[in-house]
Each structure stands twice: as C-alpha cells, then as structure tokens.
Chain A
Amino acid sequence: MLEERGVWVWGDAEGARNFCGNSMAIPPPDPKFVLRGTGASVNTLHFCCSDQEDWNPILFSGSANGQIHIWNLKTHRADKVLESHNKQSVLWIHTLQGRNGLISQGRDAAVSTWDLSEGRTAVIDSIPLDSYGFCQCSLMQEGVGHYLLASPGSTSSEVKILDLPKKTPVWVLKPPADAKLGMPMCLKLWQPPSGSRPLLLVGYENGSLTLWDLSEKKMLSHLACHNEPIMCLDFDPERAKGISGSSEKLLSSWGLDNQQNLKLQNTLTLVNAGIADTCIRQDKKILATAGWDHRIRIFGWKKLKPLAVLQYHIASVHCVTFSDHVVPSERLMAAGSKDQRISLWSVYNKP
C-alpha cells in the first residue's frame, strides 16, 4: 500500500501514472474552506447547489447536539440553525423538493419533515421510528412530492418502507429467521434504470449485504462481503456496481449480474480500520471514504485505484459527500468530523 511507504499520492483523475511515479507526486491539497461552529461532532451532510441557478449553493449539516446548520457556500457562514430532535444527535438529513423541504432523522427515534420555504423553519411532521440504532434512512423520490423512505424496523434485521407524505408503511422486509444477519446498519433505496420496481440494498451487522425487491417483498440476493458490521455503502446503478465499507480495514466493491445476484468484485485493504461513510461522485469517476483514522481517501471508481489521502481532521471523519453543482469545476466535496469541523475540498475538478 502506498500509505505504508509514507508517500502522499496526488494526481489527476485518470492519473495512475502519477501514482506510480513517486517523483510526479505533488502534495495533497488543503481544504478549500473549513466551516466551524457546529458545536458538536458532525454526523451527516447534504448539499443543495443545483436547484436554482442564481441561488446561493447551500450545505446542510446535522450534528450530535441536534442542530441542523444551513451553510451558505458563498459566504461560508451558517445562514440558519435549526434545533431539532430534542437536542439528540441528528443521524441523517435529506432535502425534499429542492431546498424548500428537509427530512431529518434523529437519535430520538423520529424522522421529522421541515418546511423551509420562504424563510420558514417549521417542523411539519414527525414520524416515530421503531429503532433506536445508528442506521441511517434512505429516501427515493417516486413522483412529484411523493417519496419512499426506507428505515430500520422494530425487530432486528427488519426494514420498513414508508410512503411519504402519507406516513403509511408500505412494506416490511423481514429476512428469514435463520439468517442471523443482525441489525441493519445501512440502507440504499434505488430504482434500476431498466425496471420500474424499486430495489433496496441493506448492509447488516454481521457484515453481509442483501438485495431486496420491494414489490415482491423478496430477498433477491445475499452476499457476505465483510467480517465486521457494514458501516456504509453506496451504489452506482449505471454500472450496477456498489461499494461498502465496514469497521475493519476492508473496502469491498461488488456487482449485480443480470440475474440480480450480488457478486464480490474487488477488495482493498486499508492501513487503518473503520470507514464511516462512502460516497460515489455523481459523474461516477471517483469515490471518497471517511475514515475513523481522521483521513479522507479518494479512489478511482472504475478500478478502485487509490488516488489521494487527505489529512486535515483531528478526529474521526463521520461523513463525506459530493456536491451537485451543475458546473463540474465548481464541484465540492464536504467531510464532517468528530472534531466539529466540516472541511470543504475541491478535488479532481479539472476536466
């Protein structure tokens, strides 16, 4: 591994050349800006940059003290701070209908929907969840103003699909009792480009991954790709390929064949254990991971080639995400950490 040789690698997106020739390596960049003032460790981030051209790009952050900050990325300051979830940790946030709505999940076992239009900051609805775990929900838009929300269910290994805004449970996915999968750790709800049936990927406590067909309530495939709980996963429907990280040193990528079977494709061993979050950039070129070892790692998505190790945070990094800027050169990557800072990076943006 590169890091073990003590070499920082920094090249261009396709640039395996730089990675091979150490002489070409240039030092990794610093963050473009660091947002401070969350007052607690940052658990989740969500960008909103492309909804309206002349609006300021914004970043939502949810932190462990129950605050949701709305950061203006022009001034790099928090425009608004929302107090939520009875000061309990915010686990996950996502926008609804541009920047006019927000959905947040907290450690108080509730999902809240917010009305943010026209400067309002009101909670519209609060949906109680059955699980007090750390598993983040997953959201998928079905139509205008119509969403499906995947959330951890009441009994272990169970996943519940809710319909929003009706709040009604649509499906409850229960794996066979003998599977011993443990708690669901991460969810990814997605719609395959070909079919209309939504699919769900679930990573479990025992390190295995399952694929579900929602409408048939059927587990399509099962893959034991980690030995430790899966902490995060992301999926690229175009290539039918996904990535998952766990609390061990392993990063696995797996694919989906035509029979909807999960197949392990590639694994990568890192220096330090624990990957809290992973995110594939919209253009499917690179992938970032948030490490418990305070580092953010960038990989080429195609071959899982290590490209860069970004070191700035002084505590474990909890989340990492890419912005949805329309202009590729403006794209940002944001990482939130236990050290209460959010670092913004501009990486591999040159065409």
Chain B
Amino acid sequence: MAIFHTPKEAFSALRPICVKITKEQNVINVQCLQSQLQKVGDAALQELQEYVLFPLRFSLRTPGLKQERFVQSVVECIHFIISRTCVQNQQQLCEIFSEVSLCLSSPGNHGKLAIISEELKMAVVQGLIALLHSAYGDILLCLYQPHMLPTQGFVISLLLDIAEHEKSRQLRVLALKCLLLLILQCDCPDTHCSFDSSDLLQVGDAFASFLPGIALGMSRIISGDIKQGHLVTIYAIKVWYKLVGLVMANDQVSKNHHDKKMLFVEDSKLADLVICRKPEWVKDTANKLDVLLQKLCSCATGNPHWKVRLELVELVYHLLSYCNKSLKQSIGHLLEILVGLVGDERPEVHTRCGQVLRNVSELCMICENKDFTDVLSENLHTLTTALPRLMRTLDDQSKLKSLGLLLGYLKLLGPKVNVILNSTVHLGRLSKALMQILELDVTDVRIVEERRLNSEADDLQHPMSFLSGWDHLRLGNKPTMKRKYFKHFTEECVFALLQQTCRVLGYYGNLYLLVDHFIHLYQESVLYRKQAAIVINEVLLGAAGLDVDVLHERETPVSVDDLKATVTSIIEEYISRANWDLVTSIESEHEAGLNTNQPKFLGFTKGSHSGCLHTSQSLTVHTMNSNIWQICIQLEGIGYFAQMLNKEFRQLLMTSLYPVIEKVGAETLLISQTATRTLTDLCQACGYDSLQKLINLNSDYLVNTISLNLRRLTQYPHTPRVISVMFSYSDASLLPLVDDVVQDVLLSLDHYHNEKAHLIFNVLHSLMTALAHWFPPKEPAQKEERPHNKACNSATKAEEIQCFFKDYQKQKRLAEGDVEDIDLDQTEYEISDHLEPDITFDHPDVKKELPAHIQIAKDVMEKCIHLLSDKSIKLRLKVLDVLELCVVVLQSNVNELLPMVHRVWSPFVQRLTNDDPLVVLRAFQVLCRLADTCGDFLKSRVSKNILPKVIGYLVSQAPVSAKAGPIYSHTLVYKLQLAELQGLGKLCEKLDLGETDLDMVANTCLPYLSSRQPPKLQDAACSVFYHLNEVDPDATWLILNEVYCPSTYDLPHFSLPPIHLTGMGKQRNEFTDNVLQLLQEFE
C-alpha cells in the first residue's frame, strides 16, 4: 500500500472524503476516512491534523440526534488521529476535550451519563485518554485553568459515574485510568511531560474543588463488592491517594499564594467554583479525609487479594511521605495499617511493608520531624493505656494486631524511644501494660506435680545407672523449653511479639534506666516478679543485639562492660535467697520455715487469718506453680545473659554456676529441665566442649560454695543436690577437690549429729554413687576360676567321672597330709616372692598411702558404723544404702574392706535380725552385696548369726503366704520374704556354705515351690535351687526327687540294689510343676 509522506499528497488523497463527511454524515464515510488515514505518514498527518479533524468535530457538533454507531466511529477516528499526532493548540485541546466528553452525556440532562452502549463509552474514554496523552508539552495545563473548571467537573462526574456504576470491569478501569491521567498521575509506560511544582500547584488548585467528589466516589468503589475485581479496587485506591497526595501535599498546602489566584478569578462567576486551600479548609478536609481513610482502609486491609493490600501499603507510603503534615491526625492510623500489614501472609506485601517502614522511619529521623515523633509517642501512650483493656477483652487475633502496633511504634521511634522512656508517665504506662499482658497462668497443677524421673528411690535400685535421668544431656540434646501459659492470651505468636517488643526496647532504650525500672517492679511485688523478670531478660537480649529485628542500626551499641555490670547485678538479684529458694513442692515444706519472707508463708498466714483453710490450700498450689515459673524464668535469663556475654561470662560462673546446678538437681521436672537447658547455654556460651568440661574446669567455684554451705546445712538443704549433680557430670579427675569437700562433710556430720545427719547422708550417698561409678569394681578373680571348675561339668559323662575321681583322690591325699614336694616348693617360692617387697617397702609405722577413693570410702564406712543403730528408721535405711555403695567401692581392695566389714558386722547383724522389716529388707540386700566380695570371710558369721534367723522367718511365713490373697503381695512381709528368697541362693553359692546349712536352706525353700504360693515367691524359690545346684548338684537333685520324682530308674546291672526315692510314684501334687521344671533345667 502506498503511503503518502508529503502533506500535499496526503491532502489530495484525504480531501474528497473529508468533504464527503461534511456533507453526508454516516458510518461508511467515517470508516472510509479512517482507512484512508492509515495510508498517511505520521508527519504528514500532523500537518493536516486540524484539517482532518474538522469534519469529524463538525459532525459531532451538528445538533440533532445522531446514530450511536456513527458517533462511536467518529470518536474512534478522532482517537486514531490524535494518538498518532499531538495537539499543539491550547484552544483546540480544550475544545476537543469538551466535544468528545459531551458524547457521553445525555442530550436532555446535561451532566448525566447518557444511556448509550458500552462500546461508545469505551471509545469516548479511550479517546479522552488519547487526547490527554497527545497534548504537546505544557499546553495540557490549560485544562486546569479556572475557566475550564466546569468542563473538568463535567468530565470527572461522568468518569466517576462510569467507574462506579458500569458493569464492564474494563470500562471502569479505563475510567479510573482516565481520572489518574487527569491528575497527571498516569501509570502507563509512555513518557509524560514533567511539570514543575508551580504547574502542579495549579493542578492541585483545580482538583481541590473535585476532591470531595472523587474521594467519596473512590471510597465507595473501594468499599464496594469484592466481585468487582481487584483491578478496579487497586485503581480506585490509586486514584484516591494520588489525588489526596496532590491536593493535600505538604508543600502545596503550606504555600501562601492563594490570594493572587483569587484576584485572577474574582471577577468571573467561576469564583464560586474555585477553592482556596486555606489552613481552615485544609483542616476541615483533613478531618473528612480521615473518616474516609478509616473506612477505606478497613475495607482494603480485609481484601482477599494481596495486590489490593500491596496498593494499600503504597497508599500509606505515599500519604506519609507527602502529606504527613496536612494529614496529621491520620498518621497514627496510617502507621497502624502499615504495622498491621507487616505481618501479612504474602511475602510481597510484608517485604514491601518492611521497606516502607524503614523508609518512613528514616524519613522521621532525617527530617527531624517533630510532629511525627510527637504523633508516634502520643499514639504509643494511648495504645499502652488501652492495652491492658484490649488484652482482657479482644480475641487473640486482635491482640496480635494491637501488639504489632505497639512493636511498630517502638521500631519507628528507634533511638527516640528514650524520649518516651524518660517520661515517668510513659514508662509507667508501658511497663504496667507489659506487666499485665505477661501475667502467667499459674493454675496448672501438673507443673507442680511433675517430678524428675530419677529421684533417689530409683538410684537405690540401680546404683550404677543413676545417671539415666541425665542421659539425654550427655548426648548433647538440649531439652526443649516448655511453653509458658499466659492468662490473657494463648497464641504463641503473641508472646513472640511481646518478646520482640521488649528486645526492641532494650536495643534502643537506655539500658540502665530500663533495668532499674523493671528491677524495681520486680522487687516491688510478687505479682509483678515473673513478668518483670521476663521483660528484663528480653530487654537485655535486645540490648546485646541478639535476636532482635529492627529497622535501623543504633548509633552506639551498649558496651560489654556495661552489659557485664548490669548482668552481674541482675544475677545477684535473681539468685538472692528470697528469689531463688522458693517453695516449689509440699515435700520441701521445711524450707518454708527458713524463709519467713516467703510468698507461700504469707499466703498461709493470710489464709488462716480469714479463717478459710481451703482457699489457703489452693492458694498454695498456685503459689508453688508461680514459684516454679519464677525460678524457670530466672534460669532462662541466666542462660540468655551467658549467650550475650559469651566467654566474658566465665567470670560470672563463680556466682552463677552453683545456683544453676542446684536447680538441675531440683525435684520439680520443669525446673530441672529448664536448669539443664541453662547449663547447656552456659556451656556453649563460655566455649566449653562439654558439660563435663564446664563442671570440671569450674569445680573450684562449686567446691568453694559447697564447702561453705555445708557449714550451714540447715540453711542450705539443697547442697547435696549440687554435689550429686556435680558428680554425675564429672569424672574421677575431680577427686582431689572432692577429697577436700569430703573432709568437710564428715566433719559436719560430727557437728550435726542428730538433726542433719539425714541430709549429710544424702551427700555421702551421692558421693559414693559417683565413686562407684568412677571406679567400677573389677570383676573379681572368681570369674576366672569358674571355667576351670566348669570344665568338669561340661565334659562328657565318662570324663566327668574320671575328673571327679582324680580330684577326689587328690583332695584325700592332701587331707591325709601327703603333700607333693613340687607343689610345696612352688608355694614357698611364691610366698617369699610376695613377702620380700612388702618387708622392704612397708615400714612398720609408715602406712602405705591409699588411693583417695579408697580412703574416702573407708572414712565414710567408718561413719556408717556409728549411725547404723540410729533411732530414725529413715536414717538407718540411708546408712544401709551408703554402706552398700562403700562395699562396692572397696570391692577392689579387699585388704581394706575386710577389717571394715568386721567392724561393721555387729551393728549390721542387729539390722538384719532385730529391726523393722523395711530395714531388714534393705540390710539383706546389703548382705548379698557383701557376699559378692567377702565370700569366705562371712561364711561362718552368716551361718551362725544370720541364717537361723532368716530360715526361721521363711519357715514361719511359708504357710501364711500360701494361704494369702492377692493383696498380700503389697505387704512388707511379702517383700521381705521375696527379698530373702531371692538373695538366699546367691548367698549360699557365694559364701560356699556347708552341707548342713545348705540342707537347711533347701528344706526351708521347699514349701515355697508349692503352686499355692504367690508366683513370684515360687520363682524366687526356684532360683534358690538353681544356685544350690551350682554348689552341690547331687544333693539338690536328691532333695527335689524326694519331693516328686517323675521317672523310674532301670538298673543297669542286677547286682545293684534297686533305687527307691520318696518322691517316686507320687500323685501329681502342688510341687510337681516347679520340681519338674527344675529337674528339666538341671539336665
């Protein structure tokens, strides 16, 4: 297709059709023109623009009803022309503007939208957009001159109408875009002419008149049905804030140049239309806008489409950056939106929100905008005042919002937060609000009830596995912190928000001021203590810059020395006795007597005052729960502090390690867990590889406190716990220091002979448990002998007999005194070899120095001797426990053990024979342990002093237990029976008792093989026979067969007499099952 490049050619080509249109106005002609125009080059068209437009404009201007179809094609054609050329004439621009827009209005009612097709409306709006785009340079500004105001108003109202009421989304968006274009804020990619501020001022002045209408209209759209689509809403928001941002911009409103303008329009009647943006007007408008803004924002924040919310962020940003003075009263609200949207689920929204927040806060800092700070602090104050109420009444989601707001304000204030903190009223409000919100829920009884699993009772059963409770720790796992339950909220994220709030406070705020204030609250009342401690912990964490999320860096971080000084004083406060040794369980009630300033004690006296015992009781549970939490929070704090100071914290270990370890050993599960966490924190922070290292390298600090506390055991009843925890984590390298403490312990035993012996024995118990763990007894030599003896047993029958006879012969010869020379020589040689070094090294008066642990065990055992016959059952039991452990430790050193056993024997026999069943039971267990090592040494003593008594008891109890019902197994008598039966067999074997004794034992146990006995007793009796079988299989076999013999024996040779056993041919009886089982096992 040929293109006309020169105007001349084009003119000749276009002229006929233009003339035709003027004469005959119809669609075909217009379309013909448009198709002709396509052949004209841009430059040529620009030349002929006015000429070509003329017939089209003429046809629009001619009065009379026109075909819609025709109007549309005309508008489209104009659109086509204008979009390819630019309008250079002001008047032309104004005229076309009004002519095109007129197409929309109904001919009858001049300001109302005509009932026309969507296509036409679309064409017109697009035409307007094209027109505005094609205006050349600043001629566009002529549209904003006062005389154009009516036209503008007319167009705007039409566009608003379309934007609001049309069905087609596309059309509505177009209308909104057109509006944007009108306020010179088009967002299309084309380049636009940029205007200076005075030009913008003119636009602003013009639109001041339309502000109410547009703002209202947009608000309606925004708050309209969500079904309208997000694009419409987004554009509506955009129009709203661009317009407001233009009209209410700080620099436009503040300038004092309105009078001049007024003069200009004074004479014309247009003066009514022109609005002068005087301060009063600004204030009034701002108030109205504030109302709209709130409505609009509440709709938009809830919009499900994230792009809408994103646009809202832009709105806030735009208004905050341009209108923060004129729209002063809305700043709070705007920030609220911003802060609220920080927590948005869409990453796009919350990252943008974060950026905006950062920019805004910089804005507020750089500009030194006093208003801004004032507004923020005022808002903060109102918020903190309302916060307690909000916390009580709102649901969690709304609480989250208000707290988010609080955090946002603090973050925005940044370093200026000190201005607020310096005001007593503000700080008071803020802290009271925090105190109320952070109030813990202390009603959970489980917290009080849950105990650490391996309390002492377990240790007794498994002296070797006493570490089991802390095993998880040795593996390096940190127990997770149990979440706290709060009175006023349940969601974890609310707490996280509060933590952040405190940290931000600490990050920016004056540390000393904050800590002083909250420590004061901490001391002021028990009610605030836990919350204040939480706040202090978090504030310090923030001050150290740990886990804190802020908008901009502070200028001067808190120095390590300052932190250290603060931490030192806080820890001192935390671990002071009034705040640390709190009653956490009913068992530890004796502690209450020591501290009269205990909350619990107070509660109790109050309760009795009011004469209502019940309330005081329930109060106590709550108080205990509260105490537990307080300790946990303080422990947590110590962990935090360590993390802050890292290796610098090592110096503070001197004071803080002991209290933490004391709590690791606490009975209450929660405390113990928290303390272990803290301990791992300390370990990591101070740069130790393991807990063992931590404790080993700081054991001097621990030992110092332990030794001092042992002197006042009544005041520090938890010292044994510390010792046992210390031992459990540590190893034998601790022994030299331990030795020192043990001397203290033993000495203190002499001091507190009666009252506190029990406590001291707890210490000794943990000490001996540790020693037994560190120096596990080597398996005694007996083990090696066994296989040798067994050799005979395992061999085949013929060899067995041969072996037996050889052995028998040898024994007999020896018994007759026929000792072989070689044997004798050997023994003699050995003896001399053994003795000589002894003679040379052991001076008669200088005793050989024993290994420390042996010496300790001996010393402890010495104390046991004296206290075995103490009045208190509890103590006697404890002493027996310790005694058993001493025996375990001394096992490896029989030379020391035997003399001690000799000394202990007489009081010990008393425990076994003339004591409470409970003690007898325990003593019997110790006896079994003794039998392990002392074997022969005890043989005659046991058979003389103990066996008769035990057997007598078992014989007398056998008929009782045979008849007893199911509850019997819960009685102490039963337990004693069981223990004795279980131990007896082993005892016989270990001590290698004589035939008569064995016979006695077997006969005593036979009744217990009866199926009428409780099953456990039967099993135990069976075990006795197993052991007896080891010692003397033949006799045992015989005894069993006399009770019941399952088989008959055929004689291998007739010359032998027939065998007759009493049990042969007996009817099946109560013993049958067990005897059969035993015999089977023996074969």
Question: What is the 8 Å Cβ interface bit string for chain B, positions 692-735, against chain A (1 contact, 0 not)?
Answer: 00000000110110011001100000000000000000000000
Roughly how many angstroms separate A340 CA and B703 CA in the complex, as a whole number? 14
- A34 adjacent to B707 (CB under 8 Å): yes
Q: What residue in chain A is nearest B740 (Cβ atoms)?
A: A36
Say yes or no for B226: interface residue by CB 8 A criterion: no
Q: What residue in chain B is nearest A30 (Cβ atoms)?
A: B708
Q: What residue in chain A is nearest B704 (Cβ atoms)?
A: A34
Give, as a whole number of angstroms, the nearest-CB distance from A59 to chain B. 15
Give, as a whole number of angstroms, the nearest-CB distance from A129 to chain B. 31
- B711 adjacent to A76 (CB under 8 Å): no
Roughly how many angstroms separate A312 CA and B748 CA in the complex, as a whole number? 12
Say yes or no for B526: interface residue by CB 8 A criterion: no
- B708 adjacent to A31 (CB under 8 Å): yes
Say yes or no for A37: interface residue by CB 8 A criterion: yes
Q: What residue in chain A is nearest B700 (Cβ atoms)?
A: A36
Q: What residue in chain A is nearest B707 (Cβ atoms)?
A: A34
Q: A residues within 8 A CB of B747?
A: 314
Roughly how many angstroms separate A33 CA and B655 CA in the complex, as a whole number? 11
Give, as a whole number of angstroms, the nearest-CB distance from A292 to chain B. 18
Say yes or no for A74: interface residue by CB 8 A criterion: yes
Q: What residue in chain A is nearest B747 (Cβ atoms)?
A: A314
> Which residue from B654, B711, B743 sits with its C-beta under 8 Å from A30?
B711
Q: What residue in chain A is nearest B736 (Cβ atoms)?
A: A37
Say yes or no for B523: interface residue by CB 8 A criterion: no
Q: What residue in chain B is nearest A340 (Cβ atoms)?
A: B740
Say yes or no for B737: interface residue by CB 8 A criterion: yes
- B708 adjacent to A75 (CB under 8 Å): no
Say yes or no for A217: interface residue by CB 8 A criterion: no
Say yes or no for B651: interface residue by CB 8 A criterion: yes
Roughly how many angstroms separate A16 CA and B747 CA in the complex, as a whole number? 32
> Which residue from B651, B701, B703, B740 sits with its C-beta under 8 Å from A74?
B651
Q: What residue in chain B is nearest A33 (Cβ atoms)?
A: B704
Say yes or no for A80: interface residue by CB 8 A criterion: no
**Known A-B contacts A36-B737, A36-B740, A314-B747; A75 and B654 likewise in contact (beta carbons under 8 Å):** yes
Roughly how many angstroms separate A30 CA and B651 CA in the complex, as a whole number? 21
> Which residue from B700, B707, B708, B737 sits with its C-beta under 8 Å from A76?
B700
> Which residue from A33, A37, A75, A314 sits with its C-beta under 8 Å from B651?
A75
Q: What residue in chain A is nearest B711 (Cβ atoms)?
A: A30
Give, as a whole number of angstroms, the nearest-CB distance from A218 to chain B. 51
Roughly how many angstroms separate A77 CA and B653 CA in the complex, as a whole number? 13
Question: What is the 8 Å Cβ interface bit string for chain A, positions 62-92, against chain B (1 contact, 0 not)?
Answer: 0000000000001111000000000000000
Roughly how many angstroms separate A312 CA and B743 CA in the complex, as a whole number? 13
Q: B residues within 8 A CB of A33?
A: 704
Roughly how many angstroms separate A31 CA and B703 CA in the complex, as a whole number? 13
Which A15-42 residues have a C-beta within 8 angstroms of B? 30-31, 33-34, 36-37
Roughly how many angstroms separate A31 CA and B711 CA in the complex, as a whole number? 11
Q: B residues within 8 A CB of A341?
A: 740
Q: A residues within 8 A CB of B740?
A: 36, 340-341
Q: B residues within 8 A CB of A37?
A: 700, 737
Q: A residues within 8 A CB of B707?
A: 34
Question: What is the 8 Å Cβ interface bit string for chain B, positions 1023-1039, against chain A (1 contact, 0 not)?
Answer: 00000000000000000
Roughly how many angstroms separate A76 CA and B711 CA in the complex, as a whole number? 21
Which B97-121 residues have a C-beta within 8 angstroms of A? none
Question: What is the 8 Å Cβ interface bit string for chain B, positions 733-756, against chain A (1 contact, 0 not)?
Answer: 000010010011001000000000
- A76 adjacent to B743 (CB under 8 Å): no
- B654 adjacent to A76 (CB under 8 Å): yes
Question: What is the 8 Å Cβ interface bit string for chain B, positions 626-669, against chain A (1 contact, 0 not)?
Answer: 00000000000000000000000001001000000000000000
Q: A residues within 8 A CB of B712?
A: 30
Q: What residue in chain B is nearest A314 (Cβ atoms)?
A: B747
Q: B residues within 8 A CB of A36?
A: 700, 703-704, 737, 740
Question: What is the 8 Å Cβ interface bit string for chain B, positions 307-340, against chain A (1 contact, 0 not)?
Answer: 0000000000000000000000000000000000
Additional 12 contacts, C-beta under 8 A, given A36-B704, A314-B743: A30-B708, A30-B711, A30-B712, A33-B704, A34-B708, A36-B703, A37-B700, A74-B651, A75-B654, A76-B701, A76-B704, A77-B700
A to B CB contacts below 8 Å, 29 in the list:
A30-B708, A30-B711, A30-B712, A31-B708, A33-B704, A34-B704, A34-B707, A34-B708, A36-B700, A36-B703, A36-B704, A36-B737, A36-B740, A37-B700, A37-B737, A74-B651, A75-B651, A75-B654, A76-B654, A76-B700, A76-B701, A76-B704, A77-B700, A312-B711, A314-B743, A314-B744, A314-B747, A340-B740, A341-B740
Give the top 5 A-B pairs by smallest Cβ distance, nearest first: A30-B708, A34-B704, A33-B704, A36-B740, A314-B747
